[in-house]
Amino acid sequence: MTSNQITLNPYSIIRILGLVAFLLIIASIVGQLMTHLTGHGHIYGLVPLLNLDNENNIPTFFSSFLLLFAALLLMVITILARNSKASYVSGWAILSSGFLFMAFDEAFSLHEELNEPTRTLLGNDIHGVFYYSWVIPAIPLVLVIALFFLKFLLYLPAKTRLNFLIGAILYIGGAIGIEMIGGFYASLYGTYNLTYSMIVTVEESLEMAGSIIFIWALLEYIADKHKEVRLMFDSARGDGT
């Protein structure tokens, strides 16, 4: 009997994701240059549709897709680890849930809802690198998560561990590090200028790069550890017929 087979090549997947990210970044840069240098900031809606600093547009959906794809891969690894009675099944499961939440947050910018309560708690006179005050609770949260996953990280194969670290450094460096630089600049000069747009471009680019490297690590881990994953569909209707 001929077997239906779908082959997924990690290199091909990463090349496609990287190309899409690159094209979105270039399109956003061109749009921002036209906005701030020529005054043409709309162009039939294409500029806001491709602006990395806007919400509910193509770059936002792509970034959410990357995180959702990572969550799906982590779910697959969780199931495979559970079936093979491997160690740290809960670690994979928690990571999968975390990336699912991150995808949801990326789509709806939930973390920005922390700005007002943080300002209210610490006082409204917050400027400089903490202008976007959601980063204040985010920094200790990231440190706690890092400590929580330390043993899990050491358990991973060296190649996977290295790629995890690179992906995390790029993503967190963009999401928090460059966000703080952007906040410092915004508190001094506002957000409607070319320099701020380029800072945001760097931030979003690092987040995309970190997500793609993390996906690469997961795909390579599945390929090295499990070689192939089979999906079997039961045709029975569950009613005894």
Q: Which tokens is 171 given?
A: 């993503």
CA distances from 50 to 42, 45, 58, 110, 211 (A): 10, 9, 6, 21, 19
Q: Band the pLDDT of 55: cuts 50, 70, 90.
A: confident
At residue 200 the predicted structure's pLDDT band, cuts being 50, 70 and 90, is: very high
Q: Is 124 helix (H, G, I), strand (E, B) or coil?
A: coil
On the question of pLDDT at 53 being above 60, the answer is yes
Band of pLDDT at residue 12, cut at 50, 70 and 90: very high
**Nearest Cα to Cα of residue 209 among 50, 18, 23:** 18
**DSSP tag of 97:** H
172 against 83, higher pLDDT: 172
114-135: pLDDT as tens digits: 988 988 888 777 788 999 999 9
- Both tokens of 216, joined, read 């690469």
Cα 19-111-50 angle, rounded to 5 deg: 35
Q: What length does the chain have?
A: 241
Range 3-31 average pLDDT: 90
Of 98-107, 191-200, 227-236, the poorest mean pLDDT is in 227-236
SS3 125: coil
> pLDDT of 136-166, one tens digit each?
999 999 999 999 999 999 999 999 999 999 9
Domain spans of the chain, in order of start: 64-226
pLDDT mean over 28-45 = 84
CA distance 217 to 211: 10
Distances (CA, A) of 114 to 47, 132, 186: 28, 9, 18
- For tokens 């690469």, name the residue: 216
In whole numbers, what is the pLDDT of the chain averaged over residues? 90
- The Cα-based distances of 205 to 59, 172, 201 in angstroms read 10, 12, 6
Higher pLDDT, 18 or 6: 18
pLDDT at 230 (0 to 100): 64
| Region 72-91 average pLDDT | 92
Of 132 and 225, the one with more pLDDT:
132
